[in-house]
A and B are shown apart, each in its own frame.
Chain A
């Protein structure tokens, strides 16, 4: 993340609460009781409630396939990706997934987070090529049709931006604003190992340099060992061809590593003895420590979690039963356990994990909870299969200072006020 893609802003997020308030009249939902809304419109909407026959049952609906590519209900139009503030350059910026509005573990393709360094190119797949060269016996050029002839693999993985969760930004309140640079999809393609073996990797090779066909010619060096393990040359995302924002027609997908390593619009792989020391792995995506040194090649995204309900910007509608729900993930593998505290971190309870629990994948957790109407602070912490426990922000700041920029995977606390309003407890 560049500074301008991750800067402090005060954002007016269309929250669940605002949506419900704003659309009470429109949907005639269960929140009638907001005083002073006894309008003609509301009276009309009441005609759709029991015991009356809803108006939309009284004539045929839209024709089949009137949207050949389906769209969400217009009542969900607030559930969109969001760019924070006003970036200096929209071609080099990021947009965030509305985590608080989604269920399950799969991110719809139109809501997968974005981070671009030179805009979104429009690429004709018939004119796209992948060239593999460098320390290989057979440098080869592949068409998209060539790549689809190889044996395919398909796996569900999360991807997270290294800059997901600022160490210093203020004015962020929702899960989307605070931690929306993580998404999850089923990625289909060919194992990079298969294609590298077709080229014949030479014995002194140690790194593979991936380059994108965007205006930034985005470049990252990936350890060869990782490339021969679980890296995918992906052409599909959740069953359909990868979206332009995700690298159409081809991206390299590097599970568990910071998102920018999964270079989009992939056009070349150079097999080398050394990394290329590109701008993106020297001046950016390096983590400055208090002593003035910087961590380099800090690829792995460590265990992390966030409660998405109740979360910042939402409103508890009533005392009593609520299901706390959230997401956990780790670049190291499977989530072993998620613990939730409803007393500001004093005590922790084990949450239930939704099946399937997959490696390097968003994992949905749930905890039944009764809210007594008192102000509380709730939070979650993830424990992955290596035994790693997600740390507090204080512990991270103690170890890394405030200028690391990347790799903040701290516990996110939410404050619930007596009136049911939920907000960022770190604010």
Chain B
């Protein structure tokens, strides 16, 4: 797909041959409605975030009802992962990896809660509820203030503490 310029003309010949062979005519066109219904992925820049909004106060209520049984009253963890604390511990002997200490993008919080949480009833929260509980979890981590309202504009603007904490795979590092 990505051809070097010098090979472009040869590539076009090959591509047209391949296209003729690959034109199986199998499959049905996906309609915009079908795609919209299934595309629940949110990019790190917030692309595809839905309309709606929620604040930390509403989020506290959602958390209490739908999250705390597994993640603890204050996000300290239980059956589910610990969500709060641990900032500054990643190079410690016992690092604590949470939303606040480890997750690089706040948008991933919306993406993951909507697609997979709560564990017993995924995709049951409304967009407003997901914005709200995302705001609450970020507040518990000291990343946003109480009363913060999150929506498709404000969520991607949040700078997570570990945003720059990731490096690309540089293996092999051992064993050569």
Contacts and interface: CB of A to CB of B under 8 A. Distances in A.
Interface of A: 2-3, 88-89, 91-92, 117-118, 131-133, 138-142, 146, 149-150, 194, 197-199, 201, 203, 205, 209, 211, 215-217, 219, 224, 228, 267-268, 270, 272, 274, 276-279, 282-283, 286, 288-300, 302-303, 387-391, 395-396, 398-400, 402-403, 407, 409
B30 interface: yes
Contact of A228 (B1, B24, B81, B168): B1
B28 A300 contact: no
B27 A224 contact: no
A140 B30 contact: yes
B122 A296 contact: no
B174 A274 contact: no
A360 to B, nearest CB: 16
Interface in B77-131: 79-81, 90-91, 93, 95, 97, 99, 102-105, 107-108, 111-112, 115-116, 119, 122-123
A215 B122 contact: yes
Given A203-B2, A403-B95, A282 B166 contact: yes
Contacts of B1: 201, 203, 205, 224, 228
Contacts of A282: 102-105, 108, 166
B38 A400 contact: no
Nearest to A411: B175
Contacts of A272: 43
Interface of B: 1-2, 18-19, 22-24, 26-30, 34-35, 38-44, 79-81, 90-91, 93, 95, 97, 99, 102-105, 107-108, 111-112, 115-116, 119, 122-123, 165-176
Which of A219, A228, A282, A395 lies at the interface centre, i.e. has the most chain B CB atoms within 10 A of its CB?
Answer: A282
The A contact surface, by secondary structure, is loop
B123 A283 contact: no
10 contacts: A3-B81, A133-B38, A198-B23, A198-B27, A215-B116, A270-B39, A278-B111, A283-B97, A295-B167, A398-B174
Contacts of A396: 174
Contacts, number: 179
Given A133-B35, A277-B104, A216 B169 contact: no
Contact of A302 (B19, B30, B116, B175): B175
Contacts of B34: 131, 141
A217 B166 contact: no
Given A274-B43, A300-B171, A217 B115 contact: yes
A216 B115 contact: yes
A387 B176 CA distance: 7
Given A140-B27, A150-B26, A276 B122 contact: no
Nearest to B82: A3
A229 to B, nearest CB: 11
A288 B176 CA distance: 21
Which of B80, B111, B174 lies at the interface centre, i.e. has the most chain A CB atoms within 10 A of its CB?
Answer: B174
Contacts of B81: 2-3
A232 B112 CA distance: 26
B112 A278 contact: yes
A131 B105 CA distance: 27
B116 A268 contact: no
B38 A91 contact: no
Contacts of A150: 24, 26
Contact of A293 (B2, B39, B167, B173): B167
Contacts of A302: 171-172, 175
A197 B176 contact: no
Which of B24, B44, B93, B123 lies at the interface centre, i.e. has the most chain A CB atoms within 10 A of its CB?
Answer: B24
Given A277-B105, A279-B111, A298 B171 contact: yes
